[in-house]
Amino acid sequence: MPIDKTVCELFAGVGGFHVGLSRSNEEWDIVLANQWEPSRKTQYAYDCYTQRFPNTLALNIDIAEINNNYEHYNIPRYNLLVGGFPCQDYSVASTGARGIEGKKGVLWWEINRMLDRDRPPFVLLENVDRLLKSPSNQRGRDFGVMLGCFRDLGYSVEWRVINASEYGFAQKRTRIFIFAYLNTTNYSLTQLEGLNENTYLQERGFFSNQFPIERVETTNKYVLNEDILTISNEFRFEFLNSGMMIGNTITTQKYKPVLEQAINLGDILENNVEERYYLGEELGDWEYMKGAKAIPRVSKDGHEYVFREGAISFPDPLDKPSRTMLTSESSKNRSTHVVRDLQTNRLRLLTPIECERLNGFEDNWTNTGMTHKFRYFCMGNALVTGLVERMGRELSKIFDNEDEVNHDIQINQTVHEEIAATQIVWELD
């Protein structure tokens, strides 16, 4: 019997993974979702999620609290763990990013606790692509720690950095997707048959059917023998925009995608937009923010330097997909989109509905009682649901070929050794 398509959705936001998976196959059953935003009196995202998915068990609790009192919450069994875990500490939009040691980076360890306890056969996570290079003073350490954790729990891993617009969507949103699977699954054994590490990602990998690769340009390899503490203290490695880890062998490659025709920004614009979205007399301020700058500055230690900033298109071109939308979209700043309205020819901001369309949500998805400003914030945090929909199709095929898994299995050192003995050992170039 194939395994059930049961899902636990962590850091659920307004339900991007839920939307994408449900569109890919109606058999997907999100049995548990967790969404909790610290330091917010009103949990708007959680409220939106529960309104849109009233039949899903949704918890509005700190994930650490759930892990500390797991039996109390009667968590159902699941076969797929998904989540776009908080990324602020990795983001290029954040100054002084501290990586996995940061305030929100530590949430990885809560994910690790869940994996250690529940051992779902499959995992699909999303984050900013900056994760591969974090932290700046020890490039690759954070992702190396994550890979080491997966390895120790008996998982193999594949990842892909995907620019949504390159595969036909309306936003140049670049994110890393991480797919992991237990080494005891049928899928793992299938992937090992006739394995060629040089062509795997392009021809046989999890992402290869839905997100085809034109060619591979660069390949790096590494054997991850170090323990987690050593990785944390010493590991450095250049991870490229795709890769895999089977056993303890990492192969990472820089790829060029097979480009698809993207949806242009102009294609998702509304008609009859309210007056409040149009720019007023502050047009000069917007022109300054969007323009190139060379500003003399002095650092705290007295060092003089010139802060330089390149120009951003003003207004945003309508014949191309949009730039990446940030959580600050509702504010008056350099990154906020400004478009020329198709009906009035006047400059204006994007509407909440247009922001929802950029991520593939239904119109007014976030119109569930949250503030106008927070609707923008949610879309700045969201993922492009169409990407998940494609991944959901691939996952459905994998699940249909997977036997029932004994959830009580414990992956111990002996099992690791047995698995390693079946895997191919590659010589580093």
Catalytic residues: 87
Helical ranges in 98-237 per DSSP H: 107-118, 141-152, 186-192, 200-203, 228-234
Q: Contact 82/8 with Cβ under 8 angstroms? A: yes
Backbone angles phi, psi at 384, to 5 degrees: -80, 110
Residue 102: φ, ψ to 5°: -70, 175
CB atoms within 10 A of CB 360: 25
Query: What's the token pair of residue 75?
Result: 């968590």
- Burial pattern 368-393, b for ≥16 Cβ within 10 A else e, equals bebeeebbbbbbbbbbbbbbbbbbbb
Helix, strand and coil in the chain, % to nearest 5? 30, 20, 45
CA pair distance 367, 352, nearest whole angstrom: 9
Q: Supply 206's token pair.
A: 């999890």
Between β-strands 174-182 and 122-128, what pairing exists: parallel, antiparallel or unpaired? antiparallel
CB of 378 closer than 8 Å to CB of 45:
yes
